[in-house]
């Protein structure tokens, strides 16, 4: 990476993010939390799970809970068929999850000085 030393997604130029799109909105996931980008298949339905849980799946020997981000944020997904939506495998609280998105973009580096706190009028679900 141009001779710069990278530690956990932090470079001398700033923090790196994997970009995803959902319902026309651009989001960034910290690269140090992203494990894989994949096209999910063979979901297993989970009885009595909340609507945000698309199911569980086996990704190279790891069992992932697949979360439908469109249901979490209460927006419409571009494609309602889960197996045709790309997913990003992330680690949160030492657990692996697959997040269903509309599309996965590129890795971008943002200078820490450019980051701003969430606006106070942002929906609390989006702020989380």
Each residue's pLDDT tens digit, 12-63: 568 899 999 998 889 999 999 999 999 988 889 899 999 999 999 999 888 9
- Percentage, residues of the chain above pLDDT 90: 43
Kindly report the pTM of this predicted structure: 0.76
For residue 83, the model assigns a pLDDT of 66
Residue 117 has, within 13 A of its CA and on its CB side, a CA count of 3
Tokens of 7: 């530690």
């Amino acid at each position: 990476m141009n001779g710069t030393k990278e530690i956990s997604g932090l470079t001398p130029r700033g923090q790196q993010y994997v970009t995803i799109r959902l319902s026309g909105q651009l989001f960034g996931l910290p690269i140090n939390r992203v494990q894989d980008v994949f096209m999910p298949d063979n979901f297993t339905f989970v009885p009595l799970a909340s609507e945000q849980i698309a199911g569980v799946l086996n990704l190279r020997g790891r069992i992932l809970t697949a979360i439908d981000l469109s249901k979490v944020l209460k927006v419409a997904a571009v494609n309602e068929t889960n197996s045709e939506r790309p997913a990003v495998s992330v680690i949160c609280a030492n657990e692996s999850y697959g997040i269903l998105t509309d599309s996965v973009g590129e890795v971008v580096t943002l200078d820490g000085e450019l980051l701003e706190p969430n606006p106070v009028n942002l929906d609390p679900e989006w702020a989380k």
